[in-house]
Structure 1
Amino acid sequence: MVILYCLMEYQPVRFNEMKRYLGRISDKTLSQNLKELEADDLVHREAYPQIPPKVEYSLTERGESLMKVLDQLCVWGTENRIS
């Protein structure tokens, strides 16, 4: 979910930029999560044919629609927090 929020805030984002935004996360973990999100059609991966290689990640329409739901869930959690 943190990856989705990062993309919502900063898209498009390159791999190393995202790693900096997220803090302590291994390359392997970030790569696996991005592949899963791409397979679920929540994240779009755009590879540019240049040297050095350039790859950017952004939310798909489906990913953006999920963010609306997640934002509402966060609002609900804040409003219904038990002290």
Structure 2
Amino acid sequence: MKQPDLTEPPDLAYDVFSKACPSRGTLEHVTGRWGALTLGALHEGSFRFNELRRRIDGVSEKMLSQTLHALERDGLVHREAQPTNPPRVDYELTPLGREVAERLLALIHFMEDRMDDVLVARERYDRARESRGARGALG
């Protein structure tokens, strides 16, 4: 059986590596800091805006609003406004959003499980940089 040529781009309708491809924008929405955290949080269930903002520690109101709009436009988040007084707006994942979130959560959980390895690598890197910096200053 012939092995695929990994140096050639796959023959796909969309190519995220192409600057003009619309998939690139969606990938950015999904994998950006706030997009990934928003999708991960919404995987837990439906949230109102301020509940979601409290769940995603550190996100500003403006960034969360922009993120939710982008994810809604991409078909990953459903926004439901209740005609109540005061108005109630709930956010939840669409079926496509749920599938994306599950894939993201697999990566998130993998990273959490391997954080000890990452911290060791960071420490080793920082020590090596400090060592090179000290030698460079002396030389």
2:104 paired with 1:70: yes
Higher-strand-fraction structure: 1
* Whole-angstrom distance in 1 between the partners of 2:46 and 2:94: 11
Count of matched residue positions in the alignment of Structure 1 and Structure 2? 82
* Whole-angstrom distance in 2 between the partners of 1:62 and 1:55: 20
2:57 paired with 1:33: no
Q: Which residue of 2 aligns with 1:46?
A: 80
* Whole-angstrom distance in 2 between the partners of 1:18 and 1:32: 13
Q: Deviations over 1:43-80 (max 9, x none)?
A: 00000001001000000000011123223434665788
2:50 paired with 1:16: yes
Flag the structure with larger Rg.
Answer: 2
2:2 paired with 1:2: no
Q: TM-score, normalised by structure 1?
A: 0.83
Structure with larger RCO (C-alpha < 8 A, sep 6+): 1
* Whole-angstrom distance in 2 between the partners of 1:7 and 1:56: 11
Identity of aligned residues (%): 41
RMSD: 2.1
Segments ≥4 residues shifted beyond 4 Å? 74-81
Q: TM-score, normalised by structure 2?
A: 0.52
Measure how far apart 1:24 and its partner are: 1.7
